[in-house]
Amino acid sequence: MAEAAAGPSDGGNADSSGDEAEKLPYVHQPASAGTAAALVDAAYAAATRWWDVTDHLRAQVSGASLDPDEPLIRELLLAVSYQLRVEHGSTAGCKLRPGTEVGDFAWPPRIADVAEDVVALWRDVAELAEHPAARARFNDLLFERRDGAVRTGPSRLGPATLAPRDPASKPTSTSPHSSSGHGIWHGRPVTWSCWARLAGNS
């Protein structure tokens, strides 16, 4: 599934109602990372549009008889709810951003504000996930966070995520290769999903 840059405004995101401050914080448990990766793999495999991923993730949670309100599930739903926004013009690129930002409020939370335990979950899921779009999403989150653990190369992410729609598009000006775990667009580092989006539109 290729991740699109735009979708409906209510985008199938996780439920943003309620008081987030009253919810239990996520405490990372490495032993749960395999379950988390399997859930997001199945959700991305079932979805045909990025805004469908949360619905499919909820379905996987229900099918596994897991508590949809537990912190692990909440953080997975938030992770797949960030929107890929394309920047046009001479500095074309993309950023993963919250769907809603009003003053100090953002939903999902701004990536820079996410707790370290959540970042640890992203690292483990990025390492363990098998579906290309799932791997790209969690590596993109780490890239946006400027986390030093980003280490997944193009062969790990796979052609389903990285290949442009037209394989002949600007072969001399775009490259997916980077030892830092991100794509290169006109000499600038961008997330994997952004590289695929920009190369596909060239």
**pLDDT of the residue at 7:** 45
In the chain, which ranges are continuous DSSP H helix? Answer: 33-46, 53-63, 71-79, 116-128, 132-145, 154-157, 159-162, 192-200
**pLDDT of the residue at 198:** 53
**Whole-structure pTM value:** 0.70
Res 181 pLDDT > 80: no
Close Cβ partners of 79 (under 8 Å, ≥ 6 residues apart): 40, 108, 121, 122, 125, 137, 138, 141
Task: Please give the single-letter amino acid code of residue 190.
Answer: V
Task: Confirm if 50 and 3 have CB atoms less than 8 A apart.
Answer: yes
Band of the pLDDT at 91, cuts 50, 70, 90? low
**pLDDT of the residue at 78:** 97
Average pLDDT value over all residues in the chain: 74
Band of the pLDDT at 51, cuts 50, 70, 90? confident
